[in-house]
Amino acid sequence: MEKLRIQKYLSQAGVCSRRKAEDYISRWLVEVNWVTAEIGQSIDPEVDIVKLWDKAVKEQKELIYYKMNKPRGIETTCAQDGQNSIIDIIDIKTRVFPIGRLDKETTGLIILTNDGRLANYLMHPRYEHKKEYVVEVFGPIKDDALETLREWVYILWKYTNKAEVERLSSWTFKITISEWRNRQIRRMVEKIGSMVKKLKRIRIENVELWNLDEWEYKPLSKSEKKALFDILNLDN
């Protein structure tokens, strides 16, 4: 069988994204044939024995895709020792990982999958995929502040991309961004002199939260999966 880089193998096995695989490898948590793995190392899946957290990794045969409405107070993490993590509150037999983090206080849409390709395409900065949020702030927000959010805000040593902003009330608005930056919405709102009271993600590209209750999760429909893969130009 053709050899694979260890990061790609872990991704295809549904363990994590390639980026997270590099993190595990750099922390000496991955072994190949009982020897600590190195980033970029090639392996033969039919011959070599790969372990993570001292457990053998086997390639997944079936790729699965779920969406979930993450409640407040839950970490978006795959950490084995994480308390109140998103992995702890689901009951999916196949090991999955979340695509795109939401901070502990943010609610809304998370995609859960064992497909590392999808994680790579959705989270890599160069692809600029759209994420939509509903934001409630403390106190009325002015039109010129919303216009600033549309055009640019300087956070984390870089200007943000242009955003789509729609006012819902004097206190709430929708915003669609095309970046994955740490606590981005909260930082943007702080820059215009306000503060987030509630933050909820309602869409990632074509996948929408719709009427999922908090804590609820379900498989993506065939039409959702097809549309998402068409957007990403991935094979179904």
The region, left, alpha or beta by phi > 0 then psi within -120 to 50, assigned to residue 140 is beta
Contact (CB, 8 A) for 63 and 57: no
Contact (CB, 8 A) for 41 and 6: yes
φ, ψ dihedrals at 30, nearest 5°: -115, 135
The residues annotated with a catalytic role in the active site are: 103
